[in-house]
Structure 1
Amino acid sequence: MQQREKRPFSFYVLAAFFALFVLFLYGPMSAIFILSFQGPNGGLTFPLNGVSVHWFGNLFEKQAVGDFGASFSRSLLLGLMVMVSTVLVALLAGLAFRRRFLGGTPLFYLTIASLVVPSIIVSLGIGVLFQQIGFRPAWWTSGFGAHLTWTLPFGVLIMFAVFNRFSPSYEEAARDLGASPWQTFRHVLLPMIAPSLIGVGLFGFSLSYDEFARTLMTAGTFNTLPLEIYGMTTNVTTPVLYALGTVTTLFSFAVILVTLGIILLIRRKRARA
């Protein structure tokens, strides 16, 4: 009978560290999840006063404070706008930087410079700029631009990494067979980088959907969901806030699972082809 190989002590240390990290990461989230099932007469802390889904139903009723539906719609639409823009710009930047051109290096550093600037400073600067030029800050204008300063650098860096590993021999073979530049892009390049583009889109949407600091000074008079939740923490005295946190968290996980499913489907189709 073959003897099982003994694991080194470092394996158990790393496993314990990872378990503590997961507990630290998801522990507070689990507390919110449990408290969202408080009974109708329950409060904001333990112990539970009964178990019910009362507060989830309360989300769809008119609230004395907070506007869940409208703020969620704004965050969702803003996230989709940022996602599409990030994918398009990151793709075009990745294609452009495959060849050297004059001013490429300064442009690259200028693109990623916003990552090292504090988010609240970016938000404040954009908000003040819009006011100085006579435009009222709004989530779909100044807020949209502020979010792009956060998502575009990550999208560009990801596409740079993708194209650095991409062999141009596939495109050369397509051109040798008579394919036009557009046909080469459409039928050769795009299918191969599609999973990466979906990942960039998910990254852009996630960063925008829960962004707080860069939205604070640029959203105008209408809040996005993170701003609405933050504002509610000071005046909501019922577990409806926990129910909202649970719903938004489940929505985020659903988006991730759907995206991963699409990527797996694309890879399976490519493997069959």
Structure 2
Amino acid sequence: MTRTPKPADSRSPRAGSAEPVLRRGPLPAGPAGLASDGPRPGRPWSPSAGAAEPAARPAAPLVRPTGPTGHSLRPARPGSSQAGAAGASPVGPAGAFAPRPARPGSPLVGPAELAVHGPLAAPRPHGEGELAALVGRLTAARARTVCVGHSRDEASRAAALAFAEAWGALPGRLVSAVVDWPEQAASWLRPARRLAAGQPDAWVIAAAPLGWAQLARRLRQSTDWEPARTYGFASLAQADLLTLAGPGTLEGLRGVTADGGCWEVADDALTGYPAPRQSP
């Protein structure tokens, strides 16, 4: 029996074409064992052969181990006499995808849960160096269409609008939408759907931690939003935000610090890196 050869898949990349840094869906395997076969957003967990679903870890007190490349804020592991290991490992390649955390039910943060953390730091006004560093990171990631989100405090609103103006002024760059939200809401589904609509190349967030934690929960439950394609201002670099959002919810989120440095979330730890030194 003679078989007719299958036609070439028109969707396959052409030889010599450049791959963008920011991509949607599973990514190729990277260093340090970062796998590429995690589930796409909105689909049930389907581990590859030999891989097990990561167990959700309960929120715990936070400690600050130190390492040669940066500092890390990590939830302490229950039953461990030394919470966290010294020397936080740097994060893997951009876009490494984390499985959707199992968090059924409401994304709302209740009074009892909030009382554990005490007062949360309010966003501070952004600086020009912070804005320039954020634009630089997205430019390096080859993002073009960006959706901007912010809470309704004055500092977050000003930061979001400043980024939207700076990004829209660049050739070939587009801000698809600017979405805002309150700190408390009866339902987070509407802002979540608005923020995830259109699947932009990246998201930029300027927000206070309480509202963003609840919105991030809903985004992970109900939309195709990917934290690994999301960049934040310095206001999001708070360890309490990770425990408010829950294990795995913000895995891959990254951003910049007020002095132009950067930070990333990996393995439920917030790791910061200093700004590069300016040559004399």
Query: TM bucket by the smaller chain?
Result: under 0.3
TM-score, normalization by structure 2: 0.25
Q: Of the two, which has the highest radius of gyration?
A: 1
Higher relative CO (CA 8 A, sep ≥ 6), structure 1 or 2?
A: 1
More helix by share: 1
More strand by share: 2
